[in-house]
Amino acid sequence: MTPPMALSGGGELGEIPHLRLPRPGALFAGRAERFAALALGHTLREYLEFLACLAGAQAAACATVRPLVNGAGLSRERPLDAASHRRAPEWLEALAVILAEVSTAAALPEEVPTTLDLLHELPPPELEVLADRVLANAVLGTDLGAGPFVAAALQVYFTALAAQLREDAIEPARDGCPVCGSLPVVGLVLGDDKLRYLVCSLCATQWHHTRVQCTACHSGKDISYYTLERARAARDGGDAGGEAERSAPAVTGAAGPPRVKAEACPSCKSYTKLFYAEGDPRLEPFADDVATLSLDLLMAEDGWVRHGVNLFLVPGEERAPVH
């Protein structure tokens, strides 16, 4: 399996792997480190520090809870489809470990202890219903505080299962993650080849998607790029179409986010965030996405709708469905 942040090569394209399966052991520990690094001096410091704690709890759960894939009868198309997969009890075990780990943290946002108590009291059938709402991106009202914890446990569970699959046993998918069907969190542009992979918001699988093509409607017409930078960036070499760029209020952090753009499609008025790995190989999709929330605010002000979801961010708009 390819390391999550490995660059794609030296610019000579051979056969392009359509899938890059996750490595859970390093993934969650790296996520915790990145959240902690980005929190330093950041305007969202308290929340990023909390998410560093939560990701650390995910790493602990990943080390102790080991769900197994039942290979019998697995489909080549979305073998772990989140909408139909029958979750095993291990995801609840992962949730229990996460709650226990977070409860021992020295400093937590004031509302977190109440949420932990609520989750401890919920019986498994109600937790399953809450998990279904998290997976459907339909967490509202009283679920908002509990959502990130349930999402964290589901990520541990689905990532552990995805890591046991074989890339050559999974068919490419036109929309959504080829493994579980979930929306992407962001896209990663890798190495000299500038290959673009979308990152699953649930199981962390990465799948290849042609560049300068909308991830929602697949149109390549009049694609534009919006950035956080205050000066116009140079046109991205090799991309078709012009780059309409505009700056957003800077969100500061000591580690500094890597180069990030929102790829916007006028055909469906949606956008996908892109991170350029060569700008900072330390980047972690979920952490750097939260740290660049100001770009999402800019896009929302202009009427763009994000195609994708970060399960650590409160849903704020209707998202394009996966077909």
212 dihedral zone (left: phi>0; alpha: psi -120 to 50; beta): left
What is the structure's pLDDT at 193? 62
Residue 232 carries which DSSP code?
Answer: P
CATH number for the domain whose boundaries are 20-167: 3.90.1670.10
The type of residue at 21 is L
What is the structure's pLDDT at 190? 84
What is the structure's pLDDT at 270? 95
First to last CA, the chain: 28
270-300 per-position pLDDT tens digit? 999 999 887 677 899 999 999 999 899 888 8
CA distances from 287 to 36, 170, 219, 298 (A): 9, 27, 28, 19
Other CB atoms within a 10 A radius of the CB of residue 138 amount to: 11
Domain residues of the chain, as ranges?
20-167, 182-306
Cα–Cα dist 286/309, whole Å: 10
CATH number for the domain whose boundaries are 182-306: 3.90.1670.10
Regions of the chain with pLDDT less than 50: 1-13, 230-258, 316-323
Cα–Cα dist 50/54, whole Å: 6
Is residue 311 a contact partner of residue 262, using CB atoms and an 8 Å limit?
no
What is the structure's pLDDT at 229? 62
20-167 and 182-306 in the same fold: yes
180-235 per-position pLDDT tens digit? 999 999 999 987 667 899 999 999 999 999 888 999 999 989 999 888 763 233 22
In sequence order, the β-bridge partners of residue 208 are 197
What is the structure's pLDDT at 148? 94
The structure tokens listed for 269 are 């008025």
